[in-house]
Amino acid sequence: RRMDQILSTSHVPSSWSNSDHVVTPQGSVNGVKGHTGQSNGDGGQTSNTPEAGQKARIATATFGEIVALLSFSPVHKHMSLADLEWLVIPALATNQVTTVRGKLKDQNGLTIPLGLALWAHVSDEVDKKLEAQQQANIPFHLAPHEWKSGEIPWLLAVLAPKEVAQALVKKLEDSVFKDKFYKRFALTEETKKPMADSSQVQPTLS
């Protein structure tokens, strides 16, 4: 599938918007299911409504934010563009990613991306694959179809400054993983502060 088709059919509801503080898609952190457009039979998108266009723009912008945040991760920054096909696009398409923004102090409300979380719901077979990767101390790697292959929840990555990461994990535990036993791939990773240290940023999770 072409990238534009994948982004345009990803689960991005109309109320997912860039706020002053945080970007949280429905269907993930807020626990409200998103929806996709209707297919025209060949895998494309039939809707050309303003709402569909807005969803596509938001998905594209979020894709860019995710790539930028990954570039600050010691584990992910050396990945190639080809890796985005299995790491970023499936997470967007299955609505299993959220990004957090923070407001810079004394910058007229300017916000920057601070962190992200990626998760998956996998089959027994994929669960064993992730367990083996973690035991071998290597970064996780899933095929695109494996991100939503079953019911076993995995928190795959939390890339954020420590204080933001803790709040983000708590939010996920109260929504996506509520009343569930989930597995965690390795430890939360603290990224470098891309534009400001935490004393200059006011992150808010909503």
| pLDDT tens sequence across 140-164 | 999 999 999 999 999 999 988 888 8
Highest mean pLDDT among 22-36, 39-53, 133-147: 133-147
Expressed as residue numbers, the domain containing 138 is: 3-203
More confident call, 150 vs 25 = 150
The token pair at 64 is 């860019």
The token pair at 202 is 């006011």
Strands (E), the chain: 22-23, 97-104, 111-122, 152-159, 183-184, 201-203
pLDDT of residue 74: 80
DSSP class per residue in 100-126: EEEEETTSTT-EEEEEEEEEEEE-HHH
Q: How many domains does the chain have?
A: 1
For residues 68, 69, 71, 72, the Cα torsion angle rounded to the nearest 10 degrees is: 140
Confidence of residue 39 (pLDDT cuts 50, 70, 90): very low
**Are the C-beta atoms of residues 10 and 144 closer than 8 Å to each other?**
no
| pLDDT tens sequence across 68-113 | 888 888 877 888 888 889 999 999 999 999 988 887 777 777 778 8
Confidence of residue 1 (pLDDT cuts 50, 70, 90): very low
pLDDT of residue 16: 31
Confidence of residue 205 (pLDDT cuts 50, 70, 90): very low
pLDDT of residue 100: 87
How many whole angstroms from its chain centre is CA 23?
A: 10
d(CA 35, CA 10): 8
